[in-house]
Structure 1
Amino acid sequence: MPGPNLRIAPPAGAQASFREDFGQRFIVTVDTEEEFDWGAPLRREGHTVLTVPALRKFQEFCEGFDVVPSYLLDYPVAASPLTVEAIGKAVRAGKAEVGVQLHPWVNPPFDEEVNAHNSFAGNLPYELERSKLSRLHARICEAFGTAPLTYRAGRYGLGARTASILEELGIAIDTSVRARFDYSAEGGPNYREHPLHPYWADARRQLLEVPLTTLYWGPLRQLGNVIYPQLWRTPRLRGVLARAGLLERIPLTPEGITAEEALRGVDIAIDDGLPVLVFSFHSPSLVPGHTPYVRSEDDLDALYGWWRTLFTHLARRGIRPVSAAQIVSGVSLD
């Protein structure tokens, strides 16, 4: 019997509750993936995993703040011995976690055409999505000797039956929903109406959705979901509203978001009582020249400075880091 459709916003009453001692926490998720040309069409071949060793430096940096990163591995990264060399020891010590991230165009079996529509894994036929996910899950289990708890669809591409596959694999958390974003023009999901607060994806409470955190800031923030979708034809107007301090969309990521902007978003999330703040970025940004966000050593220094600023501010506000395993254990089933 098909499970819930994660592309659809949850019904009333699905919101998850957490134990009183859980408080408010934050988690750092890393889309840990191969390097490719962000400006070119997707290809099965021609990618590299040269940035994987840089995970070790980021891991050591996070350990200095008692942060347990969640590395969401796609197939080329999971298949590379460099990955276990970089973070295997930290995973075994409980100082890092590994999860699943499906980039279907580089994940066997290769039975589909590579195109924009098929880059959203949830658009694939059910059996093919299931087969790709199962192979990736098995590869991660084999490489790290532990079963991943967390899934994120590449390009946030959940499908109508993805939840059934995740439940079959024993994955407890999905974090593919990018609330406040709409990918339907490209053939992907529309998450504009999905909540930021974690919620149960199924009535049996076996799969918890923990959306990526994106806030609206400014006097017009309560109308963000009404106003922002109308601005896609006029991106310059988005900039005007942001510069005027009227309306700004702030995803919690160092990629394209300044530390000052992120701090505003964090404070809104804390003041709104959000129990889990979800940060994310792409692992190739840890080496200059592989993403549009980090082109130089100065950019890389700025990226680490961004995290240092955010971690310091979160500690000052009493928001502790959390792992995926702690989220699972901290949720209340009452």
Structure 2
Amino acid sequence: MPGPNILIPPGPDATARFSEGFGPRFIVTVDTEEEFDWDAPLRRDGHSTATVSALRQFQHFCEGFGVKPIYLIDYPVADSPHAPKAIGDAVAAGRAEIGVQLHPWVSPPFDEEVNEFNSFAGNLPFELEREKFARLHARIVAAFGTPPRIYRAGRYGLGPRTAEILADFGIAIDSSVRARFDYSSTGGPNYREHPLKPYWIDAQRRLLELPLTTVYWGPLRQMGNVIYPHLWRTPQMRGVLARAGLLERIALTPEGISTEEALRGVDIALDDGLPLLVFSFHSPSLAPGHTPYVQTEADLEGLYDWWRQLFAHLERRGVRPTSVAEIMDSVALAPSDTPS
């Protein structure tokens, strides 16, 4: 019998509850992937994994703040000997966790045409999406000796039957929903109406969704989901509204979001009662010259300083770091009759 359609926004009864005293918490997720030209068309080959070794420094940095990064690993990284060398010891010791990130254009089997539509794994035929996931999952287990329990679709490309695949492989958490964003103009999902609070995807409560945290800021923020869809023809208006202090969309990421913006975003999310904040960024940003966000050594130091200031602010606000294991323990112990 087909499982739940992971693309349909959930009802209010699906909101996840956590054990008493759990929140507020935060997690740091790293889209751990190969380097590629962000301005060029997608291709299967010609990539490198030189930046994987930079994960070691980031891991050491996070440990200094008591943070357990969650590395969401795609096939080229899983297939690279550099990944276990960089973070394998931390994963084995429980100082970091691993998950799955499916980039279909670089994940075998290579049975589909490489194009933008097919870059969203959920657009592929179900059996092909499943086989790509299965091979990637097996490669990650072989590389790290432990099964991943969290998933993020590359380019946030969930499909209507992705939940079935995740359930088959014992994945407990999905974090592919990028609430407040709409990728339908390029063939991807529309997540504008999805909630920010964690929620259960299935009635049996076997698969938990942790949406990436994005909030609206400004006097017009309550109308953000109404206004933003009308700005796709004139994207420069987003900048005009932000500079005027009227409306700004803030994702919790160091990539393209300033420290000041991110601090505002954290405060808004907490004021709105979010029990769990989900931060994210791409691993090639940990070395200069591989993403638009980090081109120089100064940019790299800026990225680390961004995290320093965010971690300090989160501590001041009483927001503690958490992990996949702690999250699943908390929802398992949560009362069934009182909201979080």
TM-score past 0.5 threshold: yes
Q: Give distance in 1, aligned partners of 2:236 and 2:30.
A: 30
SS of 2:206's equivalent? coil
Specify the code of the residue in structure 1 equivalent to 2:193: E
2: distance between equivalents of 1:325 and 1:40? 38
How far off is 1:115 after superposition?
A: 0.5
Paired with 2:60 and 2:12, the residues of 1 have a C-alpha distance of 41
Identity of aligned residues (%): 74
- The one-letter amino acid of 2:253's match is T
- 2: CA distance between counterparts of 1:67 and 1:286? 17
| Larger mean Cα displacement after TM superposition, 267-276 or 177-186 | 267-276
Q: Tell me which amino acid in the other structure corresponds to 2:288.
A: P
Structure 2 SS opposite 1:28: strand
Q: Which residue of 2 aligns with 1:8?
A: 8
Superposed CA deviations along residues 204-257 of structure 1, whole A, max 9, x for unmatched, are 000000000000001111110001111111122111111111100000000000
1:300 aligned partner: 300
Determine the C-alpha separation between the residues in 2 that align with 1:202 and 1:318: 31
1:8-62 superposed Cα distances (whole Å, 9 cap, x missing partner) = 1112311011111202100000000000000000000100000000000000000
Q: Does 1:156 align with 2:130?
A: no
Q: Which residue of 2 aligns with 1:40?
A: 40
Partner residue, 2:217: 217
Distance in 2 between residues matched to 1:143 and 1:236, nearest whole Å: 44
User: Structure 1 counterpart of 2:187, which letter?
Assistant: G
- Provide the C-alpha distance between the structure 2 equivalents of 1:236 and 1:127, rounded to a whole number of angstroms: 41
SS in 2 for 1:215: strand
Alignment of 1:140-151 (within 5 A): 140-151=140-151
How many residues are aligned here? 334
Residue of structure 2 in register with 1:71 after alignment? 71
Query: Aligned partners of 1:237, 1:103: CA distance in 2, in Å?
Result: 32
Match of 1:275?
Answer: 275
Determine if contact 2:158/2:176 at 8 Å carries over to the other structure. yes
What secondary structure sits across from 2:42 in the alignment? coil
Which residue of 2 is the match for residue 139 of structure 1?
139
User: For residue 271 of structure 2, what is the amino acid of its counterpart?
Assistant: D
Amino acid across the alignment from 1:102 = L
**Structure-2-length-normalised TM-score:** 0.97
Task: Give the ranges of 4+ consecutive aligned residues of structure 1 lying more than 2 Å apart after TM superposition.
Answer: none
Spell out the pairing of 1:220-299 with structure 2 (5 A cutoff): 220-299=220-299
Q: What pairs up with 1:25-64 in 2 under 5 angstroms?
A: 25-64=25-64
Alpha-carbon distance in structure 2 between the residues aligned to 1:255 and 1:324: 23
CA shift at 1:271, angstroms? 1.1
Q: Residue deviations 1:278-329, cap 9 Å, x none?
A: 0000000000000000000000000000000000000011100011111111
Within 5 A, what are the aligned runs for 1:108-123? 108-123=108-123
**Is 1:325 the counterpart of 2:321 in the alignment?**
no
CA distance in 1, matches of 2:14, 2:335: 12
- The structural deviation recorded for 1:151 is 0.1
Distance 1:113 1:312 in 2: 46
Aligned AA for 1:290? H
Partner amino acid, structure 2, of 1:56: R
Q: Distance in 2 between matches of 1:80 and 1:224?
A: 42
1:103 lines up with 2:103 in the alignment = yes
Partner residue in 2 for 1:184: 184
Alignment-derived partner of residue 193 in structure 2: 193
Within 1, Cα distance between the matches of 2:144 and 2:225? 41
Moved more, 21-30 or 3-12: 3-12
Residue type at the aligned position of 2:112: E
* TM superposition score normalised by structure 1: 0.99
Distance in 2 of aligned mates of 1:12 and 1:154? 27
Q: State how far apart, in whole Å, the 2-side matches of 1:23 and 1:232 are.
A: 36
Aligned partners of 1:227, 1:20: CA distance in 2, in Å?
A: 37
* Residue equivalent to 1:165: 165
- Structure 2: stretches of 5+ with no match in the other structure: none
RMSD (Å) for aligned C-alpha atoms: 0.7
Q: Deviations over 1:86-124 (max 9, x none)?
A: 000000110000000000000001110100010000000
Can you list the C-alpha shifts for 1:170-226, whole angstroms capped at 9, x where unaligned? 000000000000000000000000000000000000000000000000111111000
Instruction: Name which of structure 1's ranges 15-24 and 276-285 shifts more when overlaid on structure 2.
Output: 15-24
138-147 or 43-52, which deviates more: 138-147
Distance in 2, matches of 1:295 and 1:287, equals: 8
Q: Deviations over 1:140-162 (max 9, x none)?
A: 11111111010000000000000
Q: Give the partner amino acid of 2:91.
A: V
